[in-house]
Amino acid sequence: MNAFAAPALPVLILHTGDPDDTLRDRHGDYAQMLRHAAGLGPDAVHIVRADAGERPLAPAAYRAVLITGSPAMVTDREPWSEQAADWLRQAAAARLPMFGVCYGHQLLAHALGGAVDYNPRGRELGTQNIECLAAAAGDPLMAGLPVSFPAQLLHAQTITRLPAGAVALARSALDDHQLVRLAPGIYSAQFHPEFGPEFMRDHLLRYQPDYAREGLDAGALAASLKPTPTAASLLRRFLNLRQHATAQH
């Protein structure tokens, strides 16, 4: 390696919220979960707390962006969220590679002209099956993946209309937009690649009475949780795609 080579640019993790204190103390915050799932060390990332009003640097300061989930709702149009959406539009115009998860998935779609609302088919929870769509066959992120795989789901809102030019790559029983290519190099997942069964179990049992009021059996969902290695691989696959593309130029 050239001793004088410029250091790699960091990956921005746009932090949009956290679990409650009990779950965060036990499992870490959402930015750290995303960092671990992406295989990134602490020095390889720049974590920006968008939900606390922090602002990222210019898009040129980063090699890629990961956007966390959040207990917030995109439809609330919080000032910090709209500010983050404006930055994401700038980053998309600069062709910065991005991957959004759950809230990040919805925020990217909103920023790029899509629509977000409560899923009319209902809330999705627990380990559920993700089915790849025809468009996945020609997508570099999806190369070699099985046609269906389990993933951890935890959401009430969803993308109800894709932005112009976006393509759905995978769906679930209740959501047609589980995995989306919003533009070349810009992806998002409604499911959670960064969540493992342990976090999901603790969440479901902690909020079991709330889910029961919606007619959902969180205890049964907790008992049926399982590992989701294919879903968990997507963040690393995404970053490897970007490294390979950079190496070719």
User: Annotated active-site positions, please?
Assistant: 102, 192, 194
Q: How far apart are CA 33 and CA 215, in angstroms?
A: 29
Query: Residue type at 196?
Result: G
Structure tokens at 98: 């991005």
Strands (E) across 37-164 are located at: 45-49, 64-67, 98-101, 115-118, 124-132, 148-155, 157-161
> Quick one: which H or E segment has residue 83?
helix 79-93
Token digits for 158? 């969803």
Report the largest interatomic distance among the alpha carbons of the chain, rounded to a whole angstrom. Answer: 61
Of residues 25, 115, 30, 117, the one with CA closest to residue 70 = 30
Contact, 33 vs 194, CB < 8 A?
yes
